[in-house]
Structure 1
């Protein structure tokens, strides 16, 4: 079973009108876009483990939280905007800032006790080892 991505914040406008409303409400005038940030995540699988790499440039390690609840791994935190008082007039800010939360459903064959996380150079690396004791496939004989 593969690792399944779960993102409750995904948004697809139903109509062009709702797209225009979202653009002017959220993006253009610094609304929700300025307060929400969704980091990119690379997911890889080997024979022995899953590896998740979160791209979190500009986020302090202390501002990141990793939780496992039942069969769901959640990484949340905040990327803070440092508005320094030094006569800078921003004409454009293309970086995303604010809080984020990304969740992933975990398959049954992982060992939750041995999950390891490290953070270096803006990359949060989470390694989730597979548990050899749990079978992922089984063939059932029909009687």
Structure 2
């Protein structure tokens, strides 16, 4: 299959070249900023728990870490691009690769000991049970 660039009929050759130059400039500038992998995250809540779902396509379970420190839940990992196929020439790669870390401050009404995580078909699902009572502390003013 041969890829050919579409040319608009009746377009001026000079303006086409300028347009191509501008497209390359702005596309390269945007892509350099977006050249890292940032997974999409969905957070939902029921009466019993909080649910966090992270989209991590093409990753293995061993490439993902979920940590809790000072009521901050962190999801980190690395999605690597492996060119193992010989004889294949890439014309365009739009998939994002690289290391990432997403962190979320947990609310006071969660049971930190109840956090569980599962990974299936590229989706990381984290469940955090709510605690019976919120952790609040009244501070006397002296």
TM-score w.r.t. the length of structure 1 is 0.71
Q: Secondary structure at the match of 1:52?
A: strand
Q: Give 1:24's aligned residue.
A: 28
Larger Rg: 2
Deviation (angstroms), 1:33: 4.0
Q: Give 1:117's aligned residue.
A: 117
| Distance in 1 separating the partners of 2:37 and 2:86 | 25
| Distance in 1 separating the partners of 2:38 and 2:73 | 15
Structure number with greater CO (CA < 8 Å, separation at least 6) is 1
| Distance in 2 separating the partners of 1:23 and 1:53 | 30
| Alignment RMSD (CA, Å) | 2.1
TM-score w.r.t. the length of structure 2 is 0.72
Q: Give 2:95's aligned residue.
A: 95
Q: Does 1:66 align with 2:70?
A: no
Q: Give 2:12's aligned residue.
A: none
The CA deviation string for residues 76-114 of structure 1, in whole angstroms up to 9 with x for no partner, is 001111111502111101111111111111100101111
**Runs (5+) with no aligned partner, structure 1:** 1-19, 137-143
**Runs (5+) with no aligned partner, structure 2:** 1-23, 137-142
Q: Give 2:106's aligned residue.
A: 106
Q: Give 1:130's aligned residue.
A: 130
| Distance in 1 separating the partners of 2:27 and 2:110 | 41
Deviation (angstroms), 1:130: 0.4
Q: Give 2:45's aligned residue.
A: 45
Q: How many residues align?
A: 113
Q: Secondary structure at the match of 1:87?
A: coil
| Distance in 1 separating the partners of 2:78 and 2:119 | 15
